[in-house]
């Protein structure tokens, strides 16, 4: 199990095969050379930075997920365990809400600029995300995040439950074999122009994603 910065939680993947794996929410509490996003249009997988309002004013890094619209207001969708920390995200906007545990998603008001929902491919290109979908088991998918950049793998299971310990359980996730690292939390799961989810947690063997369709329905949102 890799170090999870301030969060040191263990988890299990519950599947029909009863596979047991260690997992962890991957908000980063360490400064990063990547830095905070300072650009006119934030892309999925880009770094985001905030500071905890609590004692010590600890810094937190996460990754942007998808740009969404709720009643024509623009937000950045990311992991809920990211938006439970801090107040304002530097160069982006303020936290709006957080949904964690049971689910793992939250919104940041996006004051950084307008533009379509797109993913940073970390090779100088971006991928426009046109719609939300549900992947199939065995399908190739990719994720983008500030620490491990764009990497791809296979879907291991749908509707998975992951237990991060201390009564922090997330249900209904998409499990993949894509390894992830601290700071990747909230980053998008996608393939081509289809978005599938935002990263909740994982390790060097497995990663778990909050399904995008579920979140859009809950917010009454559309992709920007």
Asked if 162 and 195 count as a contact pair (C-beta separation under 8 A), the reply is: no
**55 — pLDDT class (breaks 50, 70, 90):** confident
Over residues 12-40, mean pLDDT: 43
Catalytic-residue membership of 104: yes
Over residues 159-169, mean pLDDT: 92
Res 86: pLDDT: 78
Separation between Cα atoms, residue 107 and residue 104, nearest integer Å: 11
CB atoms closer than 10 angstroms to residue 148: 22
Of the residues 117, 144, 182, 185, only one is catalytic, namely 185
Task: Evaluate if residue 203 carries a pLDDT over 60.
Answer: yes
Separation between Cα atoms, residue 19 and residue 116, nearest integer Å: 38
Of the residues 63, 85, 104, 110, only one is catalytic, namely 104
189 forms beta bridges with 143, 197
Res 28: pLDDT: 57
Separation between Cα atoms, residue 138 and residue 99, nearest integer Å: 28
Q: Can you read off the two tokens belonging to residue 58?
A: 């600890």
Q: Which residues of 112-134 are buried (b: 16+ CB within 10 A; e: fewer)?
A: beebebbbbbbeeebbebeebbe
* Higher pLDDT among residues 180 and 86, named by residue: 180
**How much is the pTM?**
0.85
Quick check: helix, strand or coil at residue 197? strand
223 forms beta bridges with 68
**27 — pLDDT class (breaks 50, 70, 90):** low
Which of 102, 105, 83 lies closest to 168, judged by CA? 102
Res 25: pLDDT: 62
**Cis, peptide link before residue 101, omega less than 30° from 0:** yes
Catalytic-residue membership of 185: yes
Q: Mean pLDDT for the chain?
A: 85
Residue 176 CB contacts under 8 Å (≥ 6 apart), including other chains: 141, 143, 153, 154, 155, 156, 189, 206, 207, 208, 209
* Higher pLDDT among residues 58 and 114, named by residue: 58
Over residues 51-65, mean pLDDT: 86
What are the structural domains of the chain? 1-224 (2.40.10.10)
**61 — pLDDT class (breaks 50, 70, 90):** very high
Separation between Cα atoms, residue 120 and residue 124, nearest integer Å: 8
* Higher pLDDT among residues 115 and 29, named by residue: 115
Separation between Cα atoms, residue 31 and residue 33, nearest integer Å: 7
Res 6: pLDDT: 35
Quick check: helix, strand or coil at residue 201? strand
Of the residues 5, 28, 81, 112, only one is catalytic, namely 81
* Higher pLDDT among residues 189 and 6, named by residue: 189
Over residues 8-15, mean pLDDT: 34
Q: Is beta strand 131-132 parallel, antiparallel or unpaired with respect to 194-202? A: parallel
pLDDT tens profile 165-195: 888 999 999 999 999 999 999 999 999 999 9
Catalytic-residue membership of 110: no
Query: Among 34-38, 119-123, 156-160, which is the least confidently predicted range?
Result: 34-38
**149 — pLDDT class (breaks 50, 70, 90):** very high
Res 123: pLDDT: 97
């Amino acid at each position: 199990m890799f170090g999870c910065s301030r969060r040191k939680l263990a988890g299990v993947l519950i599947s029909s095969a009863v596979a047991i794996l260690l997992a962890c929410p991957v908000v980063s509490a360490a400064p990063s050379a990547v830095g905070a996003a300072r650009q006119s249009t934030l892309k999925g997988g880009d770094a985001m930075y905030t500071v905890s309002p609590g004692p010590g004013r600890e810094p937190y890094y996460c990754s942007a997920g998808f740009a969404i619209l709720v009643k024509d207001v623009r937000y950045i969708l990311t992991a809920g365990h990211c938006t439970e920390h801090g107040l304002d995200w530097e160069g982006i906007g303020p936290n709006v809400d957080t949904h964690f545990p049971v689910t793992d998603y939250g919104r940041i008001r996006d004051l950084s600029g307008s533009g379509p929902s797109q993913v940073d491919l970390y090779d100088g290109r971006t991928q426009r995300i046109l719609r939300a979908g549900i992947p199939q088991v065995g399908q190739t998918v990719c994720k983008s995040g500030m620490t491990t950049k764009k990497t791809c793998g296979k879907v291991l299971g749908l509707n998975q439950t992951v237990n991060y310990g201390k009564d922090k359980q997330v249900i209904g996730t998409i499990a993949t074999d894509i390894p992830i690292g601290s700071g990747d939390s909230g980053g998008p799961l996608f393939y081509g122009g289809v978005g599938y989810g935002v990263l909740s947690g994982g390790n060097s063997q497995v990663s778990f994603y909050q399904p995008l369709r579920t979140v859009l329905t809950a917010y009454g949102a559309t992709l920007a």
